[in-house]
Amino acid sequence: MPGRSKVYEWFNTRADIDNILKFMKKKTVPHHRYSLWYYIGGMCLFLFIVQVVTGILLLLYYKPTAEAAFESVQYIMTEVPFGWLIRSVHSYAANLFIGFVFIHMFSVFLMKGYRKPRELTWVSGAFLLFIALGFGFSGYLLPWNQLAYLATNVGTNFAVMVPFVGEWLLEFMRGGPEVTGATLTRFFGFHVAVLPGICTVLLAAHIILIQRHGMSTPVSIEKEIETGKARRLEIPFFPNFLYRDMLGWTLALGLIILLSTLFPWELGEKADILKPAPPHVRPEWFFVFMYQTLKYVPKALGVFGFAVAGIIWIILPFMDGKSNRGERNRIFTIIGVAALLYIIIFTFIGYVAPGE
């Protein structure tokens, strides 16, 4: 082709860039009344990148020991220029990230975006959700403040409910029988090495699969198109869709720095292992619905139930035969709405009337 630089050609002969560009130019996204939900995944990706960048920056000063962790975060917050901003952005973006991951998951679920041939995309996404929760759980402890210490104590305690390997799992997570500095160091390792490693692989698979399949159109829209009630409308990914994505990212960035500047993320007081636990210790908000449930049912049963629910959630696409055949499946819609309502209601109760 004319006008191409020698550098481009050099790379093109080795990496077949032409083909990638051709693919990009041809890539489209369906456009219909539910299209808004297509932007959520991109938002998750953006927030994840914010987490990676701010996380690496925090690593420059953070010290993962019981003696120094709190002080080092305090140092970041008060002495390092813009340290307050970096840490607050990391904290706010983390919470937004988890929130958007949940929204992403439920929107995909309700639009049956997991149906054939996208089952693996769903499975990788489900695992990514667990990884995200793991990030949240491990990261929460790292500033080594009292609230995080207590929440981690309660949270890791549920590990003993796992049959056969409970005790082992507990010690594996805590690095000993109790939550101590050893736990902190371990969680640090999970948070900055183990989880990012797994996450990168899963995320790559997730994104590549999405590129291979394109966005899924909901069954209802497909039906409407089939019956002629609606017309198939596609918009080019590049640049029309990408610009829309960018608009969302820009606004999210604005929100995060607004929150971070006006309400810098508080550090609390340093963890004191000897202090008695205050009543109503609560885990991070995204665990509250599970925590609250375990107050009403026998703990072992509850933990078992969540484990089963988690596994079912992963293999869901393989159970929804109707959707896979392109038919509407109201039962699965009801299940999804019920799960969503359950999470919302129990989270709400956990904050309003936590009980004992």
**86 binding other proteins? (CB under 8 A):** yes
Question: Measured on CA atoms in the order 260, 262, 264, 268, is the torsion positive or negative?
Answer: negative
Q: How far is the CB of 221 from other proteins (least distance, A)?
A: 13
Which one-letter DSSP state was computed for residue 36?
G
Task: Pick between residue 264 and residue 354 the one whose CB is nearest to other proteins.
Answer: 264
CA distances from 37 to 15, 46, 248, 288 (A): 33, 15, 12, 25
233 lies in the site for other proteins, by CB under 8 A: yes
List CB contacts of 277: < 8 A, sequence separation 6 or more.
150, 153
**Measured from the CB atom, is 37 or 75 closer to other proteins?**
75
> In the stretch 180-219, what mask flags binding to other proteins with x, by CB under 8 A?
----------------------------------------
| 57 touching other proteins, by CB under 8 A | yes
Residue count, binding to other proteins (CB under 8 A): 45
The interface region with other proteins, picked from 76-84, 294-302, 307-315, 321-329 by CB under 8 A, is 76-84
- Secondary structure of the chain: what % helix, strand, coil (to 5)? 70, 0, 25
Judged by CB under 8 A, the residue of 266, 269, 272, 327 near other proteins is: 266
Question: Is the separation of the CB atoms in 158 and 171 below 8 Å?
Answer: no
- Which residue type does 67 have? E
Minimum CB separation of residue 209 from other proteins in Å reads 19
CA distance 54 to 50: 6
Least distance (Å) between residue 283 CB and other proteins = 24
Residue selected from 220, 234, 281, 305 as contacting other proteins according to rule CB under 8 A: 234
The reply to whether 274 sits near other proteins by the rule CB under 8 A is no
Query: Which of 110, 133, 253, 349 is close enough to bind other proteins by CB under 8 A?
Result: 253
Stretch that binds other proteins, among 24-32, 132-140, 157-165, 170-178 (CB under 8 A): 24-32
Q: Give the amino acid at 263.
A: F
The answer to whether 33 contacts other proteins (rule: CB under 8 A) is: no
* Residues facing residue 28 across a β-bridge: 236
Among 157, 240, 329, 333, binds other proteins (CB under 8 A): 240
Binding of residue 298 to other proteins (CB under 8 A): no
Among residues 231, 274, 330, 352, which is the contact residue for other proteins, using CB under 8 A? 231
Cα(22)–Cα(26) distance, integer angstroms: 6
**Residue with tokens 């995944």, as numbered in its chain:** 41
Tokens standing for residue 179:
């939550």
Q: What is d(CA 243, CA 7) in angstroms, rounded to the nearest whole number?
A: 28
CA distance 113 to 216: 5
Residues that bind other proteins in the complex, under the rule CB under 8 A? 26, 28, 31, 53, 57, 60-61, 63, 68, 71-72, 75, 77-86, 88, 231-236, 239-240, 243-244, 246-247, 250-251, 253-254, 257-258, 261-262, 264, 266
